[in-house]
């Protein structure tokens, strides 16, 4: 399979987006462009990756997120297990500017004893922002575990909260 990927800078740092068959399959965050690209290419050693210019639809989707405070529905195709995909789909139902706990997400999925499995699926989310695992927090209200760093999770939550309050 061939992936096409693009690097772009955002208010949050560097973003790498990757598509396959015209669907978003990877979106990661980093403070360093070379680190994010190297990490992505190591994640998929058996696939061909071709760097390209950021397609207009993805540029507009990122602008909508960072400037217009809304999240577009893009065609996404995350690679994972059936359970992970179920959790990732549920994450898209957490409203902008709100958070759920891992326990609340497990209850939403009809599997209240699967809190650890929910947390594990969140940690393996391959598409930041558009599968908003940053909206899941610990029962205590603490920010826990974010694949792209707690500081990015805090920034994203503050950005969404600020836009909801009009500030």
For the stretch 72-86, what's the b/e string if a residue is b when 16 or more beta carbons lie within 10 angstroms of its beta carbon?
eebebebeeeeebeb
Report the CATH architecture of 2-66: 2-Layer Sandwich (3.30)
State the pLDDT confidence band at 167, using cuts at 50, 70 and 90: low
Q: What is the pTM of this model?
A: 0.91
- Domains of the chain, residue spans: 2-66, 82-164
Residue corresponding to tokens 């990732």: 88
Report the CATH architecture of 82-164: Orthogonal Bundle (1.10)
Q: pLDDT tens, 103-145?
A: 999 999 999 999 999 999 999 999 999 999 999 999 999 998 8
Please tell me the distance from the alpha carbon of residue 104 to that of residue 139, in angstroms, as a whole number: 9
Instruction: Write down the pLDDT at residue 50.
Output: 85
Instruction: Write down the pLDDT at residue 104.
Output: 98
What average pLDDT does the segment 44-48 reach? 79
Contact present, 58 and 74 (Cβ < 8 Å): yes
- Hey, is 157 helix, strand or coil? helix
- In this structure, the number of other CB atoms found within 10 A of the CB of residue 122 comes to 24
Active site residues: 133
State the pLDDT confidence band at 166, using cuts at 50, 70 and 90: low
């Amino acid at each position: 399979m061939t992936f096409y990927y693009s690097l772009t800078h955002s208010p949050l740092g560097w973003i790498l987006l990757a598509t396959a068959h015209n669907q978003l399959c990877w979106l990661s965050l980093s403070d360093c462009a070379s680190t994010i690209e190297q990490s992505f290419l190591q994640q998929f050693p058996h696939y061909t990756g071709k760097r390209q210019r950021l397609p207009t639809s993805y540029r507009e989707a990122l602008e909508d997120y960072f400037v217009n405070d809304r999240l577009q529905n893009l065609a996404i195709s995350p690679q994972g297990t059936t359970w992970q995909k179920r959790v990732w789909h549920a994450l898209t139902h957490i409203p902008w500017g709100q958070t759920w706990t891992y326990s609340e997400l497990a209850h939403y999925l009809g599997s209240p004893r699967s809190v650890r499995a929910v947390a594990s699926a969140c940690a393996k989310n391959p598409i930041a922002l558009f599968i908003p695992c940053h909206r899941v927090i610990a029962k205590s209200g603490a920010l826990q575990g974010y694949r792209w760093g707690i500081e990015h999770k805090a920034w994203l939550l503050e950005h969404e909260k600020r836009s909801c309050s009009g500030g």
